[in-house]
Amino acid sequence: MPLEGAARIVDELTSRGYNAEREAVTLIASAENPAAVLERVVEDVAEDALVVRTDHVETALSAESSSNDSVPQSADPVGEHPSVSTGDNSTSVNDSGTQSPGETKGSPPPDDRSRPATDQASTAVDSPRSTSDVDRSSTGNRSADPELRSLEIDGDMTGESTGTGEYDDFVAVFRDRLERLGSKLKGRVNHRPATAIQSMPGGSEAGMVGLVNDVRSTASGHWLIELEDATGTFPWLVMKDREYADLVEELLCDEVLAMEGTLSDDAGIAFVDSMYFPDVPRTREPSTADRHVQAALISDVHVGSEEFMEDAWNAFADWLYTEEADHVEYLLIAGDMVEGVGVYPNQDEELEIVDIYEQYETFNEHLKSVPGDIEIVMIPGNHDAVRLAEPQPGFDENLRNIMSAHDARIVSNPSTVTLEGVSVLMYHGVSLDEVIAELPEEKASYDDPHKAMYHLLKKRHVAPQFGGHTRLAPEERDYLVIEDVPDIFHTGHVHKLGFGKYHNVLAINSGCWQAQTDFQKSVNIDPDAGYAPIVDLDTLDVTVQKFS
């Protein structure tokens, strides 16, 4: 859709007294009949709403589509999965997650992966491997005693889903988010409930902890941020020339933060003096394993796609049998095992295997080529046959039976797996698309996916924004809150490889095993396919192995 269309939509909405989220505008612009959708949105949106949000547009789009049969892709993202499961409850839940203080600056991934990344100890190896001379005995031949291993799962919500999708569930999940992230902030500000601030006299000093309800610019270029807590809302003004103005462009709706400031003379608004994020303490020291042992962190295998890179996968599997990989004892797969069916429009044109179960059967065959003495942990992604809304429970019994070759631990997206004391928060990464779309390029981009991950760590939430790309399932508890700081944060989804450290947390976005699709070509996404980042669990150093 030409920009002119989007600009016209913004004008039209403004003339009717509404601001709009960027994504909401894009969504209207890409509708078959933008004018009709805009009318419907304006009709439906609450009288006192200031901002047209993506969820408003989605509601309007689905109303439109039920009357004219044209379903825009984003209006019904859940519908087409052939098998939607809520999973079972086969994994034990226990409390781990350590945090203690440290400080590191982040570093970009190697641009040229045949060279080590500079400001952290990492190396990249770039030699295509021969596949001919490997003896794939099914058990593998790792030299370490398997008794030395330990693997604990935390935060797996498989089988724990309580949400029914009712309004009350949404209230509950946001309340839980505010309470748990708010408690990380309350010691830092002298906070009051919104209703108490509303009755303070002009000129008072005030502090508040709340969810970001709305961010908009004022006519004079300042920023108005509406914070909401359990009692109500209060508007906070960030002056454009204040040091905090730069942080405003990082904000996502529904994230939790704290503000301090001074009430205006008429007490109707507060001028922000300081802003606090839940964040990761800078002084945190990560836990490490007591011995030299490694984990391969991969994602986005996309078996069933014509672009699945079988040769690269086989080269990876073969490498796992070599002496060089002797210390790789864990394999974590962060979602998109298969290509799925009906995930994106026209996806069927690039399917090698059209049956979803056959896709998982073939994936299972590929799992078989991984040495049997490697522990595997898997979470689902947006291409997998589980519900699309997050948190996504682990695969159901039927799919577990199909993927049984390797006795993999199958847990929800997100989950935390602790390997010999090193906690790894695994999350597929759909919200990264949103972070990258909303934040300025230098703060988050597809080329540096780990930097987008830093923002999720700073917000202590894997998918803060409700109503955009990321579908959120309302549960009693917000499983997407990053309650304990992990030692490693592992995501995928954007098909780009990148890693670096944020306040000593190692953030790794795996690449993929799928060559560029037609869609990716059309939007200039150049995937990093056929790489396996390998982490030393005793030092948290990263080595990238290349198999394509």
Binding-site ranges for ligand D5M (CB under 6 A): 300, 336, 344, 382-383, 433, 493-495, 519-520, 525
Q: Which stretch binds Zn ion (CB under 5 A): 315-323, 374-382, 450-458, 476-484?
A: 374-382
528 binds Fe ion (CB under 5 A): no
- Measure the CA angle with vertex 335, ends 334 and 338; round to 5°: 140
In the set 58, 154, 254, 336, which binds Fe ion (CB under 5 A)?
336
> At closest approach, how far in Å is the CB of 29 from ligand D5M?
15
Binding mask 326-345 for Zn ion (x = CB under 5 A): ----------x---------
Please, which residue, 324 or 433, has the CB nearer to ligand D5M? 433
Identify which of residues 284 and 493 has a Cβ nearer to ligand D5M in the complex.
Answer: 493
Q: Which does 327 bind (CB under 5 to 8 A by kind): Fe ion, ligand D5M, Zn ion, none?
A: none
Least separation in angstroms between residue 98's CB and ligand D5M is: 31
Q: According to the binding rule CB under 5 A, does residue 483 interact with Fe ion?
A: no
> Which of 375, 498, 482 minimizes the C-alpha distance to 425?
482
Which does residue 433 bind out of Zn ion, ligand D5M, Fe ion, none, counting CB within 5 to 8 angstroms by kind? ligand D5M
Q: Does 381 bind Zn ion (CB under 5 A)?
A: yes
Nearer to ligand D5M among residue 286 and residue 511 (C-beta): 511
Pick from 161, 382, 412, 517 the residue near Zn ion by CB under 5 A.
382
Could you give the dihedral angle defined by the CA atoms of residues 117, 122, 123 and 129, in that order, rounded to the nearest 10 degrees? -120
Least distance between ligand D5M and beta carbon 511 (Å)? 11
Nearest to 416, CA basis, from 484, 496, 472, 314: 484
Give yes or no for residue 412 binding Zn ion (CB under 5 A): no
From Zn ion, Fe ion, ligand D5M, none, interface partner of 484 (C-beta below 5 to 8 A by class): none
Q: CB under 5 to 8 A by kind: which of Fe ion, ligand D5M, Zn ion, none does 500 bind?
A: none
Using the minimum distance from each CB to ligand D5M, give the nearer residue, 69 or 349. Answer: 349
Residue pair 297/535 in contact by the 8 Å Cβ criterion? yes
Sheet with 375-378, strands from edge to edge, namely: 122-125, 542-546, 531-536, 294-298, 328-333, 375-378, 409-410
Name the closest residue to ligand D5M (Cβ): 344
Q: Which positions ≥6 away from 311 have C-beta within 8 Å?
A: 131, 548
Query: What secondary structure, in 3-state letters, does 344-355 show?
Result: CCCHHHHECCCC
Nearer to Zn ion among residue 18 and residue 531 (C-beta) = 531
User: N- to C-terminal Cα distance for the chain?
Assistant: 36
Considering the complex, what minimum distance in angstroms separates the CB of residue 22 from Fe ion? 24
Residues in the chain, how many? 548
Nearer to ligand D5M, 236 or 513 (CB): 513
Closest approach of Cβ 298 to ligand D5M, in Å? Answer: 13
Please give the residue whose beta carbon sits closest to Zn ion in the complex.
493
For residues 530 and 528, give the distance between their C-alpha atoms in angstroms, rounded to a whole number: 7
Given the structure tokens 């150049």, which residue do they identify? 526
Q: Which is nearer to ligand D5M, 279 or 433 (CB)?
A: 433
In terms of DSSP H, where are the helices of 80-221? 167-185, 194-198
CB of 349 to ligand D5M, least distance (A): 11
Q: Which is nearer to Zn ion, 180 or 493 (CB)?
A: 493
Residue number, 397 or 519, with CB nearest to ligand D5M: 519
Least distance in angstroms from the C-beta of 380 to Zn ion = 10
Q: Is 300 in the site for Fe ion (CB under 5 A)?
A: yes
CB-CB neighbours of 237 under 10 Å = 18
Calculate the CA dihedral of residues 82, 84, 89, 92 and round it to 10 degrees: 90
CB 356, CB 55: distance < 8 Å? no
Determine the Cα–Cα distance for residues 287 and 486; give it in Å rounded to an integer.
9
Question: What does 384-407 look like in DSSP terms, one character per residue?
Answer: SSS-SSBSBPPP-HHHHHHT-TT-
State which residue, 364 or 382, has the beta carbon closest to ligand D5M.
382
Give the C-alpha separation, 300 to 496, whole Å: 10
The answer to whether residues 385 and 398 touch, using CB atoms and an 8 Å cutoff, is no
Closest alpha carbon to 411 in 81, 160, 91, 86: 91
Closest contact distance (angstroms) between CB of 176 and ligand D5M is 28
The binding site for Fe ion (CB under 5 A) comprises 300, 336
The binding site for Zn ion (CB under 5 A) comprises 336, 381-382, 493
